[in-house]
Structure 1
Amino acid sequence: MSITIALILLQSAPVSVPPPPPTPAPTQSDQGDETGRAGPAVGDAGGEIIVTARRRAESIQRVPIAMSVIGGSALAETGAYNVGRLTQLQPSLQFYSTNPRNSAANIRGLGAPFGLTNDGIEQGVGIYVDQVYNARIAAATFDFTDVERVEILRGPQGTLYGKNTTAGAINVTSRPPSFSPEARAEVTYGNLDFVQAKASVSGPLVDDTVAIRLSAGYTSRRGTIYNVTSRHYVNSQDNLSLRSRILWRAMPTLNLTLSGDYNYQNPDCCAQIYARTGPTQRPLSRQYAALARAFGYAPPSTNAFDRVTDLDTPLRAKQELGGLSLLAEWDVGPGTLTSVSAWRFWNWNPSNDRDFTGLPITSVSANPSQQRQVSQELRYASNGTNTVDYVGGLFYFHQTIDTQGLQVQGSAASRWLLNPISTNANNPAVLNGLRSTNTIGFANTSAAAFGKLTWHVTDRFSIQPGLRVNYDKKDGSYVSTVVTGTGSSILNSDQRGVLAPQSYDPSFDDWNVSGDVTAAYDFSDDVHGYATYARSFKSGGINLSGLPLDAANMPILSASTVKPETVNHYELGLKTQFLNRRATVNLAAFWTEIGDYQATVTNGQLGVLRGYLANAAKVRVKGVEADVAFRPTERLNLYVNAAYTDAKYAKFVDAPCPPELSGGSAASATNPASAAGTAGGASPANCDISGQILPGVSKWAFSYGGEYNFPASLFGIDGQFYAGVDGSYRSTFSSNPSRSIATDIDGYALTNFRLGYRKDGDWNVFGWLRNAFDTDYYELLATQSGSTGLVVGQPGDPRTYGVTLSKTF
């Protein structure tokens, strides 16, 4: 189960939950105050936070959805300048990334399979930026620049957000162009040579008809891990973002907003380094310790928090992403007609060291990729003052991805990867130079019609049904050409077992119908309850990372497609305020069951780095969440978020086995599976992990903190000093699709401090200290291909500190 408790700061808290609105929803310009926060302080009479979670502007307290809002100033003051950093503020949100392409955002433990990205499936958490759907999570790894607010919606959002939002949605809204001239600037400097600069300017181009907003941001930081081979720090940051928005008031009832953005990132990233070893069922002579001794090899440190490595392949995580969109909002009759037209691109140019050592095992592993997407949404929403309110629309989406994969084995590969009984195991020439060139194509088309009604049965009671009819079609092509180090395409069985030539053209198409119904009741002006049932779907997919092989080392074509996920979701919620609206308590309890859950399955080939996808029969997640805010005085705000999550495989009988049951000879009726960790033992083809926890989900997670301010005059300027603290905690969680003690990540707590002086609407200067107690923790752990027992990790950031100065003109 998942409990989230949030005592929400307003001035700079990560979450804000306001009182209900006494008046109709305001216009876009009223949705954030001049400091960029999501709204006025909790407890202010008539104060409110306006969100667009249901495709119309309304108060968060009256929206029957479990959700959180983080305003622009809160993002800056807490250091949450990208999606990944939001996890320290929102316990129900999980984000994992070994590099931008291999990133995943989950809500309540659901969203994307845990493991390396497979182009042929889609995420379960929708990422929307200024109402534009971003098909790949990598396209959302940009730094927040000139952001007004971030809304995090928990639970299925299929009828309105629809494009695979079975777990929830992240809705990012940029600041709009202004007809009043304004400018903002922010600069940050910290240790590790951290530099971040952001600036924006806005004003009219043509009187009160055309306005423009230009924004730019730059982030640079030295890497946190030193590579003794290259004599260079890796896992650095190097991000540039540019954004423009032009608003044209074409008519009193018609607004057109043209937006464009460009982001360029080129960090030396991303290293995963030696963390530990664990037992497997490979013969001891072919497990990590013996293999390393045979090569006279030792990592520069066996303590990952010494932050050194010796990776011998250059690291690169270069990407360009951006696009154009046109938003049209036209007041027609009793509502607003909205059109969102968009084109986006993403170019990915990586270089990885996927053997995670300084040895030449896999000398090249890279999957450069180019994505293009176009989308068109057309919807009509009533003005929210009728007995029956409604939103209805149409959605079209088309995406193409072209990937050029390359994997090359090195001189150490034969001994490291081949079966020890093979006569080739000690012959370096067998695998040295073995090269797989993969050409991968993908086309994804989706179309939908959707609608949601709100029937106000009485002044206090409403029923809100929603429906979405969706069509998805996916076509792919996977061609893997393998040659030996001498250029020959004639392979022996050992070579085919490591890199197998494959060619297949998978396809998938299907219709599905999603629906939900919510009953909402206002017990009073400050107490609102709701109950929701949703049946949702996540589109099926195709495997585009290569297929598993049969006994003859031939691809198993039946594994080329993956069934859609089917979601049944139940939720009860209560949103309340009391003590003159100085305290807010919002509760939500949910139960989610997913049939044919899309899971990552480890490929049986020793040399293959990427797994494939399969369906787990059933997953169940249940939870309770609470958002609590308390402002005892005008000077003090407090918050605490807590999450208890119960997320399990209800039925998964043919799952990949954990490392300690992998790497041995094939178990059979005459050769039964050995006990876990038996060197040279027999390994089952698959394992029943029904009842085990889902990867990446902590049973308990918290975020908490507070801020105190007091008025003071500094250099003749009236403002306020303030001090704040933000903390987070996550209990132990699994970092492997099938749980293993070798890949469990221990629980950890992080604490951040800030101390500053500000004048609202003018300027703000503060010092910050993040991970103040220099806690050692892993963001994730992974195993080395080949069941050697090597476990590598991605250490989280050490203690960082710096100062930020911002100014509004």
Structure 2
Amino acid sequence: MSSASDGLDTSVGVYIDNVYLGRPGMALADLIDVDRVEVLRGPQGTLFGRNNSAGVLNITTRKPEFTFGGTAEVSLGTYGYNQERISVTGPVIDGLLAFRVTGFNTHRNGVLDNIKTGIDANSVGRSGGRVQLLATPASNLTIRLSGDYSQEDDTCCVSATKLVLPASLSATTSRTLRALASLGYVPQRSLDFTQNNSPQNMKTDQKGVSLQVDWDLGFATATSISAWRYWHFNPLQDSDGTPLDVIQVNVAQTKDDQYSQEFRLASRPGRFNWQVGAYLFHQRLKDHFILNQFGTDASAFYTTYLRLANPAAAAVVIAPGSQYLDDVDTSVDSVAAFGQANFDITERLTVTGGIRYTRDKRSGVSDTSIVGTPYAATSIPFHYNVSVKDDNVSYLASASYKLADDVLAYASYSTGYKGSGLNLNSAVSAGTPLVLSPEKVKNWELGLKSQFFDCRVTINLSAFATDLSGLQANIVPTNGNRSYLANVGDVRSRGVEFDAFLRVTDTLTLSGNGSYNDAVYKRYANAPCPVGVSGVCDLTGRPLFQAPRWIGNGTVDYHVDLGNGTRPYALAQISYRSSVFGTADAGPYSRIEAYALANFRIGAVLGNGRYDLSAWINNAFDKQYFQNLSTTAIVGASPFAYAGQLGSPRTAGATLRVNF
């Protein structure tokens, strides 16, 4: 929970209805009425939107329709789970103006026991809605206006302790454990409960408006997309991760105000087709952080911690309620022009070229202050005022060849770019520069897309090679101090991917996808060392953190048409992810083990498709797995444990969907 990530752009861009979401947390709201989801891998930016160095998740919702209809859905399940969704569409003025209104409400009780407060952690509470209008004032003109609002109130994101570090690891680890024990707390592994004593929750408010105009000019279609979005992120975290009152809370309030304008001109389909455009983006983020609010146990803990090393050390006096505050104001302005063209040299051979010019300016101000009498060694006030400008040209070149009517081979080369970052928190204490260098990507891909036997079999294969220079990452120090940004060297990634679909019979289909990715640090000489190792380490050749080598997903779908609009079905899904390191130092204690999850659903479509009733179970075998993992430490002291957020346990329930 820090302002670190606000100094960076995202590597993987998320778009909803052609609108870029400026912060990753914006994409966590529940999505309803989704029409399609596209996953675009590799550098993007020659066709639309912002420049994204690692890929795009492009989500499109259903448009308003001129025929009245809708859906209503209710789900009930374990842990008090209930979810209600509704979508209604229809004409306002027949043939001229249509509407669509959607809404959702989701609630689930906490799934992690808090034996200190009695309030279960990691609950879910989300609600929101969207209103759309679609106007067709002329046969060649469509106007789509959309407004949405959502809110979230969760007891997130409480960690479970995977392991407690041995006292023999280092003298400072031993001191931390002994200082905690002197106050009556002995850390222990706890995957089923937490003992945090401070309130912990996450509240967000998000809203936005977008206007898309499409005008068919005959030779081409002109598109304008204007958008505004606002996101208020207000989490409250227990800073020390213990039942003690050493550091009470960590508050991180972020207000994101962003505007975007995009223009595109796309030719009609033909032997030579093209698309050009321009993109403007402005974002302002205002952060207010209570980094450390010291409690009644702070003086005793730090005094004991120091005197275990030096018995003559003076007593530490910290007034309860003392705070270390940080206010950060960041702005981003980006202007870009892009274009891409396809040319069919023959009926089988097509070549594609694309180019993008991007100019970015990022500015930021950071002010910290101390309220009360905090422990001087943990808190150093500072003021930063910094800005940076970048420009970049990225491009795409590819060729595809039809080996047969349903078999396409292709090869591509593309470059990507993510602009400079600002280190607006602990840059001085961390010894890192205020300005991070841009992140640049080169990507090669060879692939094959094929269908056989009247489309009953689909097989897509690809091999990729990616070289990334100047990887930007958020580094979490092992001493409990604030995270900071750094260029962590160069990364090399090599791998293969596949997608497959098989219609075994008219009632049974099998599908799956997977990837192998060998991602390592190509150069990372001055890296942070794992816990227990002093100085700096050379991680060159070591695996990239949070990058699983193997990922796989499989689905079995069986359905039977009994006539009279009755169709029972069964669905089984399994997913697998190999082990990863949770932290950039690739230390052995941060290893997240491999896991596989299984989900099942049985149900029936009834009444000529009007009703769909199903029962489901997710994480059917109740696998405990970590989504992330990092050190647990009290600021200014050595870490004493590794903890992270667990994935959801086994849940089961039923869903009724009504179409009207």
Q: Bin the TM-score by the shorter chain.
A: over 0.9
- Would you say 1:403 and 2:281 are equivalent positions? no
Give 1:318's aligned residue.
Answer: 203
What is the aligned partner in structure 2 of residue 149 from structure 1? Answer: 36
Which of 784, 788, 793 is the matching residue for 2:632?
784
Q: What does residue 569 of structure 1 align with?
A: 443
The answer to which structure, 1 or 2, has the higher relative contact order (CA under 8 A, 6+ apart) is 1
Q: Assess if the C-alpha contact under 8 Å between 1:595 and 1:616 holds in 2.
A: no
Alignment equivalent of 1:708, drawn from 550, 555, 558: 558
**Is the CA contact 1:601–1:655 (under 8 Å) kept in the aligned structure 2?**
no
Moved segments of 4+, more than 6 Å: 423-426
Partner secondary structure for residue 6 of structure 2: coil
CA contact (8 A) 2:384 2:424 kept: no
Report what 1:461 is aligned to: 349
Per-residue CA shift, 1:125-154, capped at 9, x if unaligned?
A: 010000000010111111011111111111
Give the corresponding residue for 1:516: 396
Instruction: Pick one of 578, 584, 589 that aligns with 1:742.
Output: 589
| Structure 1 residue 425: Cα displacement | 6.5
Partner of 2:574, secondary structure, is strand
> Equivalent residue for 2:236?
351
Tell me: CA distance 1:379–1:285, structure 2 relative to 1, closer, same or farther (3 Å).
closer
- Alpha-carbon spacing, 1:287–1:763, altered in 2? closer, same or farther (3 Å): farther
1:706 aligned partner, one-letter code:
V
2:27 corresponds, among 115, 137, 140, to 140
SS in 1 for 2:589: helix
Aligned residues: 651
- Residue identity in the other structure for 2:367: V
Q: Residue 195 in 1 paired to residue 67 in 2?
A: no
CA distance in 1, matches of 2:543, 2:396: 27
1:451 aligns with 2:339: yes
Decide whether the 8 Å contact of 1:237 with 1:268 is kept in 2. Answer: yes
State the partner residue of 1:499: 379
Tell me the residue number matched to 2:496. Answer: 624
Alpha-carbon deviation of 1:442?
A: 0.5
Aligned mates of 2:500, 2:616 — CA distance in 1: 25
Q: Which residue of 1 aligns with 2:420?
A: 540
- Residues 187-225 of structure 1: CA deviation (Å, up to 9, x unaligned): 110010100110010000001100000000111000101
The alignment partner of 2:59 has SS state of: strand
**Residue aligning to 1:800:** 651
Query: 1:535: Cα distance to partner?
Result: 1.3
Alpha-carbon distance in 1 for matches of 2:654, 2:509: 22
Give 1:182 shift: 0.6
Shift of 1:601: 2.9
Mean Cα displacement is larger for which, 192-201 or 149-158? 149-158
Deviation string for 1:450-498 (max 9, x for gaps)?
000111111111111100000000110000012443xxxxx8xxx3431
2:93 partner letter: V
SS in 2 for 1:453: strand
Alpha-carbon distance in structure 2 between the residues aligned to 1:431 and 1:737: 35
CA contact (8 A) 1:257 1:326 kept: yes
> What CA distance in whole angstroms lies between the structure 2 residues aligned with 1:208 and 1:285?
72
Correspondence 1:126 to 2:13: yes
Distance 1:390 1:522 in 2: 20
Whole-angstrom distance in 1 between the partners of 2:511 and 2:411 = 26
Whether the 8 Å contact between 1:150 and 1:172 is mirrored in structure 2 is yes
CA distance in 2, matches of 1:749, 1:314: 32
- 1: distance between equivalents of 2:312 and 2:480? 15
1:652 aligns with 2:524: yes
CA–CA separation in structure 1 for the residues paired with 2:96 and 2:313: 74
Structure 1 residue 285: deviation in Å? 6.6
CA contact (8 A) 1:282 1:788 kept: no
Q: Give the RMSD, CA atoms, in angstroms.
A: 2.0
In the alignment, structure 1 residue 693 sits paired with structure 2 residue 576: no
Taking the aligned partners of 2:276 and 2:51, their CA distance within structure 1 comes to 18
Aligned equivalent of 2:254: 369
Give me the whole-angstrom Cα distance separating, in 1, the residues matched to 2:461 and 2:413: 16
Tell me the CA shift for residue 504 of structure 1: 0.8
Percent identity over the alignment is: 34
Name the one with the larger strand percent: 2
The alpha carbon displacement at 1:284 in A equals 5.6
Partner of 1:595: 469
For residue 302 of structure 1, report the CA deviation from its aligned partner. Answer: 2.5
2:527 is the alignment partner of 1:641? no
Aligned counterpart for 1:380 among listed residues 251, 265, 290: 265
Which aligned pairs between 1:272-283 and structure 2 lie closer than 5 A?
272-279=159-166, 282-283=170-171
Note the C-alpha offset of 1:430.
4.2
Matched, 1:298 2:186: yes
Match of 1:158 among 31, 45, 58: 45
Pick closer, same or farther for the CA change 1:224–1:467 going to 2, 3 Å: same
Instruction: State the TM-score, normalized to the length of structure 2.
Output: 0.95
- One-letter code of the match for 1:742? Y
When normalised by structure 1's length, the TM-score is 0.78
User: Match for 2:110: what amino acid?
Assistant: G
Q: How much does 1:161 deviate?
A: 4.0
Q: Distance in 1 between matches of 2:62 and 2:310?
A: 63
State the shift of 1:761 in Å.
Answer: 4.1
SS at match of 2:10: coil
| Equivalent-residue separation in structure 1 for 2:153 and 2:571 (angstroms) | 33
- How many Å apart are 1:260 and its aligned residue? 0.4
The aligned counterpart of 1:107 is: none
Distance 1:331 1:161 in 2: 18
2:71–2:659 Cα contact (<8 Å) kept: yes
Q: Which amino acid aligns with 2:503?
A: R
Change (3 A) 1:128 1:795: same
Corresponding residue number in structure 2 for 1:43: none
Structure 1 segments unaligned to the other structure (5+ residues): 1-100, 103-115, 486-490, 551-555, 662-682
Distance (Å, rounded) in 2 between the aligned partners of 1:592 and 1:482: 45
User: Residue type matched to 2:366 in 1?
Assistant: Y
User: Which whole-Å CA distance do the structure 2 matches of 1:285 and 1:219 have between them?
Assistant: 42
- Summarize deviations over 1:546-579 as a string: whole Å, max 9, x none: 32328xxxxx5x6111010111110011100112
Is the 8 Å Cα contact of residues 50 and 279 (structure 2) preserved in structure 1?
no
For residues 335 and 532 of structure 1, what CA distance do their matches in structure 2 show? 26
Deviations 1:663-707 (A, max 9, x none): xxxxxxxxxxxxxxxxxxxx21x2111111111121112111201
Which one of 91, 96, 110 corresponds to residue 204 of structure 1? 91
* Whole-Å separation in 2 of the counterparts to 1:173 and 1:416: 53
Shifted more, 722-731 versus 270-279: the winner is: 270-279
Within the candidate set 452, 455, 465, 1:581 is matched to 455
Contact kept, 8 Å, 1:239 with 1:266, in 2: the verdict is yes
Shift of 1:247: 0.2
Does 2:68 align with 1:181? yes
Aligned match for 2:278, one of 391, 394, 404: 394
Contact 1:660 1:740 in 2 (8 A): no
Q: Secondary structure at the match of 1:312?
A: coil
* Residue deviations 1:319-358 (CA, integer Å, cap 9, x gap): 0001000000000131210000000000112210121111
Q: Which residue of 2 aligns with 1:91?
A: none
CA contact (8 A) 1:597 1:618 kept: yes
In structure 2, distance between residues paired with 1:427 and 1:283: 20
